[in-house]
Chains A and B, each alone.
Chain A
Amino acid sequence: MQWDFSPVWANWDFLALGFVNSLKVFVVSLLLGLPVGLALALMRLSQSRLLSWPALVVIEIMRSTPPIVTLFWVFFAAPLILGLRIGSFEASVVTLGIASAAFFAEIFRAGIVSVEKGLVEASMALAMTPAQSTRRVVLPIAIKRMVAAFFERSVELLKGTTLVSTVAYADLMYNANALVQETYRPLEIYSVVALFYFGFIYVASIITGRVEVYLARTGEAGGH
């Protein structure tokens, strides 16, 4: 067997373009997932069943279906139901965004629940409204406690972006497939792509790990 990496190096810009698209999907899904996740968490914590039940249903459905199944549903079935044209980019970010939102919601919720009741009562005693107490006391503490789980989920999302190649969005994996079909060098191309993903995600995990340690050191026990 002869290794020949020339197709990879000759087409590095094509692959780089794919990776930029992967990052685009990642960033947009994250920006969509965070607010939706926070909204779902607040709905779940609400006293009113009218709010908490729909949130629970969305969270359970998204957590119990493989993201690739949801993606196919959004790409092939949703356009017919809604009568809209949905492109592969939109389908990808909506699916990955809402799928991560379901996990973010549980992280937000666990973080919020972990904040001691006494702090909420103290803020009430200081005449804060529930909304003020949530925004000024509970969320700042909760967010710090959630950072580790939140980073872990974001790394999962980054890995999940490879799924979008299955609905023909031109991410790194899709471009790698196209290159393989053209050059018949699956071993070299897929190995380089796999190592690249590993390197990028590994560095991302290390950086997020450092940030966690830093945040933990700056005192979570209400040092501010």
Chain B
Amino acid sequence: MIWDYQSILANWPVIWRGLVGTMHMGFVCIAMSMSIGLVVGSARYSRSLVFRIPATAFVEFFRNTPVLVQIIWFFFAFPVFTGIKITPFWAGVLGVSLNGAAYCAEIFRGGIQNIARGQWEACRALGMNYRQTMGRVILPQAIKRMLPPLTNRAVEMIKATAIASIIAYYELLHSARIISSNFFNPIESYTAVAIVFIVVIWPLTYTTRLMEKRLSVSD
């Protein structure tokens, strides 16, 4: 068997466009899921049932449904439901980021709840108000602890964008399919794309692990 690198190198613009597609969707998903997750996470933390029940329902529903099913639903069922036409990009973003938002909400909630109650009491004893306690004591510690799981979630979301290739969104896996169907070189094209994914994602997972290790030392 001869490896045909030439057909991959000659098609670098296709792979590049796929990488741009993957990163574009990845960043939009990360931004959306963190903002939605922050809102939902605070709502889950709220004392009022009016906020807590819908937020809990949101988290449970999106955490317990496969991303692929959500993407397909948004692409094929959502337009029938609402009459709004949706592009593969937005169907993918909705599927991946709502799922991610449910996880982020739990990370935010857990991060704040895991700070020992005694610290709140200590701050109150020192005469700090809610905002001062949150800003000076709780959040700095919570953010430090939330960083590794949030990075982990970001990685999972970038990986999940590859599923959007099934509705023909132009990302890395789609590039591989284009190249392999034109040049009949599935080995080279799928291997090349897998390598691009590893090059993008491995540094992120490695950083997460470093952060976790450092955190467990400093705590």
Chain A positions within 8 Å of B, measured between CB atoms, are 1, 60-61, 63-70, 72-73, 76-77, 80-81, 155, 159-163, 165-166, 173, 177, 180, 186-187, 190-191, 193-194, 197-198, 201-202, 205
Contact of B76 (CB < 8 Å), options: A77, A180, A201: A180
Given contacts A69-B162, A69-B190, contact A64 B198 (CB under 8 A): yes
CA separation between A165 and B176, bound complex, in Å? 18
Interchain CB contact under 8 A, A69 and B193: yes
Interface of B is mostly: helix
User: Interface readout for B72-86 with A: 1 if CB under 8 Å, 0 if not?
Assistant: 110011001101000
Q: Which residues in chain B, 39-77, are within 8 Å of chain A measured between CB atoms? A: 60-61, 63-70, 72-73, 76-77
Chain B residues with CB below 8 A from A70, complex form:
194
Interface of A is mostly: helix
Enumerate 7 A-B pairs (CB-CB under 8 Å) in ascending A order. Answer: A1-B83, A69-B162, A72-B190, A77-B190, A163-B68, A180-B76, A201-B64
- Tell me, yes or no, whether B133 is within 8 Å of chain A by CB: no
Interchain CB contact under 8 A, B81 and A69: no
- Tell me, yes or no, whether B205 is within 8 Å of chain A by CB: yes
CA separation between A193 and B186, bound complex, in Å? 32
Q: Which residues in chain B, 93-134, are within 8 Å of chain A measured between CB atoms? A: none
Tell me the minimal C-beta distance from B207 to chain A in angstroms: 12
- Tell me, yes or no, whether B143 is within 8 Å of chain A by CB: no
CA separation between A80 and B176, bound complex, in Å? 16
Interchain CB contact under 8 A, B173 and A77: no
Name 13 extra pairs, CB < 8 A, besides A64-B197, A77-B186: A1-B80, A1-B83, A69-B162, A72-B190, A73-B191, A80-B186, A161-B66, A187-B77, A190-B72, A190-B76, A197-B65, A198-B64, A201-B66
Interchain CB contact under 8 A, B81 and A187: yes
- Tell me, yes or no, whether B215 is within 8 Å of chain A by CB: no
Interchain CB contact under 8 A, A68 and B173: yes
Q: How many residues of B contact A (CB 8 A)?
A: 41
CA separation between A155 and B177, bound complex, in Å? 29
CA separation between A37 and B168, bound complex, in Å? 34
Interchain CB contact under 8 A, A66 and B76: no
Given contacts A64-B198, A69-B197, A72-B190, contact A1 B65 (CB under 8 A): no
Tell me the minimal C-beta distance from A3 to chain B in angstroms: 10
User: Interface readout for B152-174 with A: 1 if CB under 8 Å, 0 if not?
Assistant: 00000001111101100000110
Q: Which residue of B lies closest to A158 (CB)?
A: B66
Chain A residues with CB below 8 A from B217, complex form:
none
Interchain CB contact under 8 A, B162 and A68: yes
CA separation between A70 and B67, bound complex, in Å? 17
Chain B residues with CB below 8 A from A72, complex form:
173, 176-177, 190
Chain A residues with CB below 8 A from B159, complex form:
65-67
Tell me the minimal C-beta distance from A82 to chain B in angstroms: 10
